[in-house]
Amino acid sequence: MWIYEKKLQYPVKVSTCNPMLAKYLIEQYGGADGELSAALRYLNQRYAIPDKVIGLLTDIGTEEFAHLEMIATMVYKLTKDAKPEQMEEAGLGDFYVNHDNALYYNNASGVPWTASYIQAKGDPIADLYEDIAAEEKARATYQWIIDMSDDPDLNDGLKFLREREVVHSQRFREAVEMLKEERDRQKIF
Amino acid sequence: MWIYEKKLQYPVKVSTCNPMLAKYLIEQYGGADGELSAALRYLNQRYAIPDKVIGLLTDIGTEEFAHLEMIATMVYKLTKDAKPEQMEEAGLGDFYVNHDNALYYNNASGVPWTASYIQAKGDPIADLYEDIAAEEKARATYQWIIDMSDDPDLNDGLKFLREREVVHSQRFREAVEMLKEERDRQKIF
Amino acid sequence: MWIYEKKLQYPVKVSTCNPMLAKYLIEQYGGADGELSAALRYLNQRYAIPDKVIGLLTDIGTEEFAHLEMIATMVYKLTKDAKPEQMEEAGLGDFYVNHDNALYYNNASGVPWTASYIQAKGDPIADLYEDIAAEEKARATYQWIIDMSDDPDLNDGLKFLREREVVHSQRFREAVEMLKEERDRQKIF
Amino acid sequence: MWIYEKKLQYPVKVSTCNPMLAKYLIEQYGGADGELSAALRYLNQRYAIPDKVIGLLTDIGTEEFAHLEMIATMVYKLTKDAKPEQMEEAGLGDFYVNHDNALYYNNASGVPWTASYIQAKGDPIADLYEDIAAEEKARATYQWIIDMSDDPDLNDGLKFLREREVVHSQRFREAVEMLKEERDRQKIF
Amino acid sequence: MWIYEKKLQYPVKVSTCNPMLAKYLIEQYGGADGELSAALRYLNQRYAIPDKVIGLLTDIGTEEFAHLEMIATMVYKLTKDAKPEQMEEAGLGDFYVNHDNALYYNNASGVPWTASYIQAKGDPIADLYEDIAAEEKARATYQWIIDMSDDPDLNDGLKFLREREVVHSQRFREAVEMLKEERDRQKIF
Amino acid sequence: MWIYEKKLQYPVKVSTCNPMLAKYLIEQYGGADGELSAALRYLNQRYAIPDKVIGLLTDIGTEEFAHLEMIATMVYKLTKDAKPEQMEEAGLGDFYVNHDNALYYNNASGVPWTASYIQAKGDPIADLYEDIAAEEKARATYQWIIDMSDDPDLNDGLKFLREREVVHSQRFREAVEMLKEERDRQKIF
């Protein structure tokens, strides 16, 4: 089970109300390679994976929920003072008529999140490569959003998150190598 | 952010390996009215809701993740020792070829979870009725699963979870009445 | 069965060709909380609900089809004279290449309608709370669209529809209280 | 708008409680080529089609709703007395835990209905061929269900519905030929 | 099996970097009536269709893959030199944060391709009408895109593709008439 | 463009009519990690990837279409002589009423294929890890199907396909290492 602690993993600031940037950033909230995908993927894989990898999946999965909360806070701060006209100008008129200034788990194009984005195969090697790929794709997504952003405060948070994906990718690579070595020691087939 | 504590909210036991029951139970893992829907719905609504309801949504949303973990543990215990033939006999052959004995966020029919199941409107009254409806639907789902189950150990856990939904429904009803009273006091239109 | 009567439930007028407004309004045609969701939800729930609520569901479900026709007429009037360039300027270029100036059951972001938006649990209390939530969410959606619109003729129709949702919500609340009272009289558990 | 008349287009009888048959029949309720697809497709196409075809689409679209109601009644009669164990034996255990003995717009495999099944192009020839194809596919679906059924009472209703699809297909073929002739008379390109 | 030949079926040119046009054109890449739908539909229908139609389906299905490659090349040429700001101005900022300047199988609104767009009924008449409808819908889509385009080089390629759909439609009509004649000769029912 | 050659990449045999096995095997036709996903993923990534990897993606993508054709042939051979009752007994009654004995791009649970299963990020490292993960997941899926199968003729074909995935995975790993080395040589950041 999880205990909620009322603080963010890393402080979140935005320079100004900027719904256009929120529109892009929501890709990491409810998009294919966003934080929701990450958290749900890792926590779900914990059950059919060798014991020695469970802790890693729990740690990273839990951290991804903290990232999801950071993204939610960023999106909210970028839009909370936006009037309907500003939402409209930012291309968020379609979002506004459905959700007002609330949040929702969809990608930047408005497509709702689906579990089809993630996988669990019960094969540890396959699952860990899925996880490495996920981290690399999340890293790329942060890069494309940073390319679009000229908000230095927001970018500080986004760069922190991008770096965490690089670290996670490295840890999953170590785990897959460890399991492959072990497999090679144990069986000859 | 959340801190993981390595224990379940309520102890989970199953009497025997029973993949058929797992097939039904997964409805509460990745189905329309399951625990994933509940947790993600409430935590997402926290941003555009009056301050006095945020704590309630955080508390219940966090608890629903604990429920999700209980369901995951139940499903895993019911299937972890099942051989492919047993999965097949239980109507889980389709699940097995995709996921082996791992878990996945789909409903009992194998349909992947989608955010289309949940909503956030930025209107507190609408959002809280969405939440009441969610709890009532989750309660009904637990009932239909209990109808299908003859595992007394599992049913003990399911009854605990069903009762929690009743409590949550009551708390959301209190919240909506509080907001309606406040609204009626404040404006005349 | 239904008999078609060639008139609208309430007269529909629009002040001017305005495809941008059509883009938002289509949320109530093929969106999560739109009239299609409403009509299909209520008519589908009629079979496993106590007899005394069937008439209510039939009446409101049938009326929602009349509302769906009103929305269709509004969307059509707002776009029928729009040239491709006007569609493009209104952010409907993506819609145009797929559907020209025809209608389609998608939301304002272009996501096709899915039955995942609606539910039927076979539990009358749960189903009626689903319906109350639906009406409250539809009311909010009309409000957000009215916020975006400066067409007084269109707004007249939208306000009529918004008021109908308020009435329906009230009737579903009365129905759920009636069923709860009856349940409490009948069983002690 | 539509007026509800409390009778079915054609009398519906079933010989016995038979949830397995209900499982197959639901394909015509919420499946790709079922009555919901038909009704929604035709009524939606009415706005961007030449005036002389609107009446045909309204008539057939309205009749398809009557067919949808017949299918709903059939499914309900086949399952209303089924106990959970009978639902389970018929392969409807997954449906039961989600919906009890209620109805839902999904296909025989449990996939929720999506508007992606239908289309409107704003090109009358294309739209009418879409409609002919729809009727031919519905006809085939009725045939495959009749192949599965040994309930003579049910089959009587299904054969009526299959014949109506043949008639509709013929009427759409006449409409497309009429429009093609007219087009050929009017323009040379 | 297929052999790749490193050339396009018809030469593809674009006059200038034009991401807005790419946004529309992607409808024929990953949209409901695009080339992916066409290729996958025909090749999939080959197995349960009378022998004399298999060759036609293989030929046209294989050609549609060549068309898909032409569309991919067009979209890539229209966007490969576009900077993030240009993608944003063209309404492709949402696409960019997910895919950078890569391609993806979604429609112009960003909705991922789904097999729900296509069908195979095992009934040759129904399947061939599905195919005729598909070609007519594809023809209409090319027309709506040409309406939006002022790039003469691109339009040359699009007109070639539109004409191929007309030819395919004609060939499927001949096939369905042939099968109907044969059916009428063989059985009297 | 592609040229069709009327032969399979590897001969396909099945020992006996076995629709149950077809039900599982269809996972590799229209499932998340099946051959359709593979072919479409690689061919789509060719445009925004460094030139030296394009050939590899074209080769493997084209081969995956040959695999898709092998799977189609296997599924067809396993079901073509199955009567409706046999389809029903194999748990394919739901498939039969929708598609008769035709094929369709869905997974073993009947969920239609969606492009949400695949990704293209425009970042070569991320894309190649996506591809490695895809091959590992496909390998696992073949393993789970072989676990379910006691048809030695079919298994011969499945083992051939499983081995090809291992080879492809290796080639993608070499490609990603090559690109990483090159990147490390070129920039210091």
* Mean pLDDT over the full length of chain B: 97
8 Å CB contact of B141 and D111: no
Q: Which residue among B110, B111, B148 sits closest to D97, beta carbon to beta carbon?
A: B148
Chains F and A touch (3+ CB pairs under 8 A): yes
pLDDT tens for chain B, 189 residues long, are 999 999 999 999 999 999 999 999 999 999 999 999 999 999 999 999 999 999 999 999 999 999 999 999 999 999 999 999 999 999 999 999 999 999 999 999 999 999 999 999 999 999 999 999 999 999 999 999 999 999 999 999 999 999 999 999 999 999 999 999 999 888 655
Q: Of the candidates E126, E129, E115, which has an alpha carbon nearest to the alpha carbon of residue E40?
A: E115
- Tokens standing for D54? 């609107």
Taking contacts as CB-CB distances below 8 angstroms, the residues of chain A near C145 are 97
Residue ranges of the alpha helices (H) in chain A? 19-25, 27-30, 35-45, 51-79, 84-89, 93-99, 124-148, 152-186
C49 touches chain B (CB under 8 A): no
Shortest CA distance from E9: residue in chain F = F1
Q: Which pLDDT does position A188 carry in this prediction?
A: 57
Amino acid at E96: Y
Q: What would the mean pLDDT of A166-176 be, rounded to a whole number? A: 98
D109 with F96: Cβ contact below 8 A: no
Q: Is B32 on the interface with D (CB under 8 A)?
A: yes
Label residue C188 by pLDDT band (50, 70, 90): low
F136 contacts A123 by C-beta, under 8 angstroms: yes
Longest Cα–Cα distance in chain A: 66
Contacts of D140 in chain F (CB under 8 A): 100
* Cα(F63)–Cα(E36) distance, integer angstroms: 18
Tell me the mean pLDDT in the region C120-126: 98
* Percentage of chain C modeled with pLDDT above 90: 96
**Touching partners of D (3+ C-beta pairs < 8 Å):** B, C, E, F
Q: Distance between alpha carbon A170 and the CA centroid of its chain, in Å?
A: 16
Nearest to A47 among B1, B65, B72 (CB): B72
In the numeric block, which tokens belong to residue A35? Answer: 């934080």
- How many Å apart are CA B35 and CA B28, to the nearest integer? 6
Q: Do chain F and chain E touch with ≥3 beta carbon pairs under 8 Å? A: yes
Six token digits for residue C169: 């919500």
Taking 70 as the pLDDT cut, the residues of chain D under it are 187-189
CB atoms E106 and A109 under 8 Å: yes
Distance from CA of E29 to the nearest CA of A (A): 17
Mean pLDDT per 10-residue section of chain E, whose length is 189 residues: 98 97 98 98 97 98 98 98 96 97 98 98 98 98 97 98 98 97 79
Instruction: Give residue-wise pLDDT tens across range B123-150.
Output: 999 999 999 999 999 999 999 999 999 9
Q: Are B157 and B184 in contact (CB under 8 A)?
A: no
D96 to chain B, any CB pair closer than 8 A? The answer is yes
Q: What is d(CA C173, CA C188) in angstroms, rounded to the nearest whole number?
A: 23
By Cβ distance, the residue of A3, A65, A105 closest to B115 is: A105
From residue D189, alpha-carbon distances to A168, B116, D175, E140 in Å are: 61, 46, 22, 15
Q: Are F18 and F78 in contact, with CB atoms under 8 Å apart? A: yes
Task: From residue D18, give the alpha-carbon distance in Å to each of A127, D13, D100.
Answer: 42, 12, 15
Three-class DSSP category at C87: helix
ipTM above 0.90, yes or no: yes
Q: What is the mean pLDDT of residues A22-34?
A: 98
Alpha helices in C80-148 (DSSP H): 84-89, 93-99, 124-148
SS3 E131: helix
Question: pLDDT tens digits for F120-176?
Answer: 999 999 999 999 999 999 999 999 999 999 999 999 999 999 999 999 999 999 999
Whether F106 and chain D come into contact, CB under 8 Å, resolves to: yes
* Chain A neighbors (3+ CB pairs < 8 Å): B, C, E, F
CA distance F139 to chain A (A): 8
Chain A residues in contact with B116 by the CB 8 A cut-off are 112
Cβ pair B48:A103 closer than 8 A: yes
Other CB atoms within 10 Å distance of the CB of residue C54: 13
Q: Residue D109 phi/psi, 5° resolution?
A: -90, 0
CA Rg, chain B, in Å? 18
C121 within 8 A of D100, measured Cβ to Cβ: yes
Closest CA to E168 of E130, E113, E116: E130
Amino acid, single-letter form, for residue B114: T
Q: Please answer yes or no on whether A136 and F116 come within 8 Å at the CB atom.
A: no
> Taking CB atoms and an 8 Å cutoff, what residues of chain D touch E133?
126, 129-130, 132-133
Best E98, E106, E107 member to test A by mutation, with max A CBs in 10 Å, is E98
Mutate to test the interface with C, among E106, E147, E150, E155 (most CBs of C within 10 A): E147
Please state the rounded mean pLDDT for residues F43-54: 97
CB-based contact F110:D109 (threshold 8 Å): yes
pLDDT at residue A187 greater than cutoff 90: no
Flag whether residue D119 sits within 8 Å of chain E, measured between CB atoms. Answer: yes
d(CA E37, CA B3): 46
Measure the CA–CA gap between B186 and B189, rounded to whole angstroms: 10
